Amino acid sequence: MTIKEVEELSNMTRANIRFYEKEGLITPQRDSNGYRNYTEQDVDILKRIRLLRTVHLGLEEIRSLSEKESELTDVLLIHLRTLKKEQKDLEQSKAICEQLCRDQAAYESFDAEHYFNLLEKAPSEIPAELEADSLPKVRAPWKRYFARLIDETIYLIFWNLILALGFHMNIRQTGWAFAVIGIIMQSVLLLMAEPVMLSRFGTTPGKFLFGFRVSAESGARLTWREAYDRTGIVLKRGLGFYIPVYGLIREYSSYRDCKKGEILEWEEDNILTLDERHMRWKVIAAVLVLGVLDILNFLVWQAGALPRNRGNITAAQYAENFNDMQKFYQIDHQLNLPEFLPPLGDSRKLLNQDGDWEKMSGKPYIVGTGVDYPELPELQFTEKDGALTEISFSSEYKDENVEIPVYGDLMALASLSYICAQEEYNLLPSPPSRLYRQVKEYGDQCSDFTISEAGVTVKASFDYSGYELRQAQYGSSDVLVPVYGKDVYFQVDFRIWQE
């Protein structure tokens, strides 16, 4: 039926019908020509709305009934209590008005304090009319917090992209210096991105998901300068420049003020509005987006481990990949020694262009430990048509009084430096951290294994007797220690090749 017919049947104006349609309480179908086509069900809903509005039921309560979030009886019982309170207030108001008339009070001279004392409510209690005569104040502190968390996570991902792809850094182990730089860059990205989005769209990704919008007091969008000033105050007074501890104090203070309904400093010259329709679905969408952003941040972290040389690499390029992998995973001890406590700083050995181990100049190195450890096994390379096709090493110790550190880190670094260089390799479903952990666990347990990934096979075999696996005397990692009185033998063969 047409809207004119609906007007007659529902006793509502066209403006009323359009309003309730905009609020999502009715959803008429549209014909092929674009005109709305209302049904008898739409008319019945409008009649129900008209009745409930006639008895002064609020629009939010009607919306909750429409979305089946509440039961009619429950809503009406609460509404009855409100009506009784309002009836009592109206009786008091009637009595005061009658008294003012009897006293022939004049606006310019009547004593308001005298009449306040006649009321049962305290003079300090704010009447509902005064609350209605103020600009709407959005509280929702937790929704606001998670909206900003989504925005901050997006800014953080951009910064991590720069570190991971530009500098091949391990973004989860950056140290204090880069933590400070990260705080500064997060502030810079916030000041760069948020004013642009607020001035152009009136919202940000996080705010959009929850239904928040920011506008000037006139209702127009903020100018870039107004949005920049607002973001600056948020950064200073709301987030404490992300400074540890101080930032948490500022966030808690803002949460407390927001919950009490106070106007926050950055909202004095602008208006924040919240569309609370379908909030349950908005919250679900926000949780899903946070999950997706967390996955993206994980992939960015893993992308930092991808070697600089990929494709058909040479032995020299493989050596560069290996050294980068050592740095990324922060293996700063010599791989033929257990990880010592306390650490001596970066004392790792690097592979040079010829594939030989060499010390880094100017770095500390252990000269004597009181325990004999074997030298690092030399890597053997096989190339075909200038491209590396195989990496291997073997070690054998017989009747030698040496403690043999586990090979987990060496095997993991050697494997990833070649596997992750293949064009066929993808971050999913086998990210570098998973491959590293898998190979390292086998190597640290001195267990045979075979792993295939991206057209590359990694195989290790161990054969030993007379040794016991236990924690090193001067380190935190495990070593194979000769058992007194037993004949000792150890052999390991490790090989990486293209299938």
Name the residue with tokens 């509440």. 70
Name the residue with tokens 């506008």. 215
Number of H-type helices and E-type strands within the chain: 17, 14
List pLDDT tens digits, range 137-164.
788 999 999 999 999 999 999 999 999 9
Per-residue pLDDT of the chain (499 residues; tens, 9 = 90+): 888 888 889 888 877 887 888 888 888 887 776 677 889 998 999 888 888 888 888 888 888 888 888 899 998 999 899 889 888 888 888 888 888 898 888 888 888 888 777 776 544 444 454 444 445 578 899 999 999 999 999 999 999 999 998 888 899 887 788 888 988 999 999 999 999 999 999 999 999 999 999 998 778 999 999 999 999 999 999 999 999 999 999 999 999 999 888 878 898 788 899 998 999 999 999 999 999 999 999 999 999 999 999 999 999 999 999 999 999 998 988 888 887 755 566 778 999 999 999 988 777 666 656 678 888 999 999 999 989 999 999 999 987 788 899 999 999 999 999 999 999 999 988 999 999 999 999 999 999 999 999 999 999 999 999 999 998 876 778 899 999 889 999 999 999 999 8
Q: Which two tokens stand for residue 165?
A: 């792809």
Q: How many residues does the chain have?
A: 499
Query: What angle do the packed helices 72-102 and 59-66 form, to 10 degrees?
Result: 170
Distance in angstroms (rounded) separating the CA atoms of residues 102 and 99: 5
Distance in angstroms (rounded) separating the CA atoms of residues 421 and 236: 44
Name which of 404, 393, 379 is nearest 464 in CA terms: 404
Q: Is the pTM of this model over 0.85?
A: no
Q: Which two tokens stand for residue 190?
A: 């916030």
Distance in angstroms (rounded) separating the CA atoms of residues 345 and 317: 26
Distance of CA 468 to the CA centre of its chain: 45
